[in-house]
Amino acid sequence: MRKPGPSIQDTGEDVATQTRRRIIDAATEVFLQDGYVGAKTDEIAAAAGASKQTIYKHFGRKENLFEQIVLDRLGGIDEIFRAAIGELAVTDDVEATLTAVARKFVSTIMRPSHLRVRRLVIAEAGRFPHLGLAYFEAGPERVHAALASAFAQLAERGLLRVDDPVLAANHFTWLVVSIPVNKVMFCGDDTRFTQAELDHFADSAVHVFTAAYRAPSRSSA
């Protein structure tokens, strides 16, 4: 049985916003359980405590609702990395700041809600490639572009040696998350890592990345 959601007084949201959020939360669970094709609007409406007409009013087609769920889950990553990557671009202590970025990144990516939606998008990418593209552009591509910009600025200041900033950004993120993400993708949601384990992945990734991309010292130049 679904627990009743917080009251409007608790959330500070108006009725329309709260209804929209309730539909998104219910639809997420239905999509994750049944897949896109198997999910029925009737089931989503029942889980949300709303009518089908209300769902159509807020989202139109089921496809629009699915896309909104995907993009909604990406917002948190973007918000976290705007500040963290901004600090990276101007730091004088590259390794310490990279470590902070890496720890935030792996902790955010490994949230069960993000991983479950990621798996769903991958599963439906062949049938709805535009949804996979939207996820990729709003998530990985945006993060890599921001990291690439920071790495280019660090290279200009002589703190890193980077010939291809976008490639370096991809190297960095996969060094950080490939081990835990791949295990969860294949082994399911019951796979868990402690915060200490995630920090270890992040710290080790930074050591490898800086060994490969550290600028030569002036004395050795």
- Can you read off the two tokens belonging to residue 97? 């700041």
Q: What average pLDDT score do residues 29-40 get? A: 88
Segment 127-138, tens digit of pLDDT: 888 878 888 888
In this structure, are 158 and 202 located in the same domain? yes
CATH code where residue 14 lies: 1.10.10.60
Spatial distance between the Cα atoms of 27 and 10, rounded to a whole number of angstroms: 22
In this structure, are 23 and 119 located in the same domain? no
Segment 71-118, tens digit of pLDDT: 777 665 666 677 788 899 999 999 999 999 999 999 988 988 788 888
Segment 154-195, tens digit of pLDDT: 999 999 999 999 999 999 999 999 999 999 999 988 899 999
In this structure, are 50 and 142 located in the same domain? no
Instruction: Share the mean pLDDT of the chain.
Output: 87
Q: What average pLDDT score do residues 194-198 get? A: 97
In this structure, are 32 and 55 located in the same domain? yes
CATH code where residue 89 lies: 1.10.357.10
Which domain-ending residue is among 21, 40, 59? Answer: 59
Task: Decide: helix, strand or coil at residue 128.
Answer: coil
Residue 138 lies in a domain: yes
The pTM (predicted TM-score) of the whole model is: 0.79
Identity at 62, one-letter amino acid code = K
- Can you read off the two tokens belonging to residue 84? 């963290």
Q: pLDDT value at position 123?
A: 87
Q: pLDDT value at position 2?
A: 43
In this structure, are 52 and 113 located in the same domain? no
Q: pLDDT value at position 9?
A: 47
- Can you read off the two tokens belonging to residue 24? 């998104």
What residues contact 156, with CB distance under 8 A and at least 6 apart?
none
Spatial distance between the Cα atoms of 159 and 157, rounded to a whole number of angstroms: 6
Domain residue limits at 53: 10-59
Task: Decide: helix, strand or coil at residue 93.
Answer: coil
In this structure, are 71 and 105 located in the same domain? yes
In this structure, are 54 and 84 located in the same domain? no
Which of 183, 185, 150 lies closest to 168, judged by CA?
Answer: 150
- The total of structural domains in the chain comes to 2
Q: Is 123 exposed, middle or buried (0-12, 13-18, 19+ CB in 10 A)?
A: middle
Q: pLDDT value at position 221?
A: 45
Which of 117, 118, 116, 120 lies closest to 38, judged by CA?
Answer: 120
Q: Band of the pLDDT at 45, cuts 50, 70, 90? A: very high
Between these two residues, 82 and 151, which has the higher pLDDT value? Answer: 151
